[in-house]
Amino acid sequence: MGASGRDMSICLFGLYGLLHVMFGVPATLSSRTMAMHVPHCVLRCKDAHMLEMENEWSMDFAFPLLSLLKATGSEVAAYNRAKEICRSNELLGACLDSCNSSMERTILRMGLTPWRDICSNLQELREQFPCWRSNVQNLSTTCRVQSLELRDSFEFLTRNDSVSATQKICINLDKLSACSVKQYGLYCGAESEKFIERLFSISREAINSMMKMKYAILPTACSIGPLRRDVYSSELFTLNGASRAYSLFLLLLILYSLSLNLTLYHVPKGGRKIHR
């Protein structure tokens, strides 16, 4: 397979990860489509992990633990689920260790970085639950506008493979980050704010590491740095066709990984629908 053909197959693999987690595309369809392109061992590890996680996700863009707190009001159930997610991630890591070295394996392992921090600080996470439970309605809806904008940018990227589309996702992700940190601090104080900010910061570092696998200079909106609350530059950078396909894959798979890590927000049933 030529370089451009491999870049496109990698792009499709990343697109599957995004569509399955965010929009509910069936795992069996993607497995049939991707099996001939993606290392089988990596695909097997990913599919097993996603099957275990699939009940935690819906069109609502709800973080598993916050969603569970909202549904049950049980801090014990949320804590137990956090431990289960940590165990599932350990199994995924062990599974990936059994695979031959590949770019896909490396990126999936990078995507586990934020949860490794959470799993190393489960008691700190547990201490946040009482306030999160008391304020779960506000925490799960206040940033709905930013969540909708991020979801719209996902949809746009599936229809428009362009640098401007990837930058739009980075911009909207940062807007959601800024809103999240502010709201958790407002409702639950400095410790909760630090916890959420650290989670986003670690995730952004993972993004930085992934994208540096390809680019010496990152696009402005996707570069690492403090949470940005200003108006973003529209500056673009130029890539050739093969590199843009690689870029799309990186960002899609990054966002798939982040969807298992970041505290994304519930979108009400009356919100805009994503068409598949």
- pLDDT per residue, tens digit, the chain (276 aa), is 444 444 433 443 443 343 333 333 333 334 444 444 568 888 888 877 777 665 554 333 345 677 778 877 889 988 888 888 888 889 988 999 999 988 778 877 877 777 788 889 899 989 999 999 999 889 888 888 887 887 787 777 667 766 677 778 788 878 888 998 999 999 999 999 998 888 878 877 776 676 666 656 667 877 765 444 332 233 233 333 334 444 444 444 544 444 444 433 333 444 443 333
Residue 44: other Cβ atoms inside 10 A? 16
Angstrom CA distances, 252 to 126, 143, 210, stand at 30, 22, 11
Q: State the CB neighbour count (10 A cutoff) for residue 22.
A: 23
Tokens encoding 93: 């890591």
- Nearest to residue 110, comparing CAs of 241, 267, 2, 256? 256
Given this model, what pLDDT does residue 196 score? 87
Report how far residue 58's alpha carbon sits from residue 44's, in angstroms, rounded to the nearest whole number: 22
Angle at 14 between CA 259 and CA 17, to 5 degrees: 45
Phi then psi for 109, rounded to 5 degrees?
-65, -40
Q: Directed axis angle between helix 113-120 and helix 122-134, to 10°?
A: 90
Report the pLDDT value the prediction gives residue 71, as an integer from 0 to 100. 77
Predicted local distance difference test score (pLDDT) of residue 163: 67
Taking the C-alpha atoms of residue 6 and residue 30, their distance in angstroms, rounded to an integer, is 17
CB neighbourhood size of 26 (10 A): 11
CB 200 within 8 A of CB 256: no
Contacts of 112 (CB under 8 A, 6+ apart): 89, 92, 93, 257
Q: How far apart are the first and last CA of the chain?
A: 29
Backbone angles phi, psi at 271, to 5 degrees: -70, 175
Closest listed residue to residue 180, CA positions, set 208, 207, 204, 144? 144
pTM of the model: 0.67
Cα distances (angstroms) measured from residue 237 to each of 208, 219, 243, 263: 16, 6, 12, 30
How far apart are the C-alpha atoms of 229 and 217, rounded to whole Å? Answer: 22
pLDDT for the residue 118: 84
CA–CA distance, 271 with 244 (Å, rounded to integer): 32
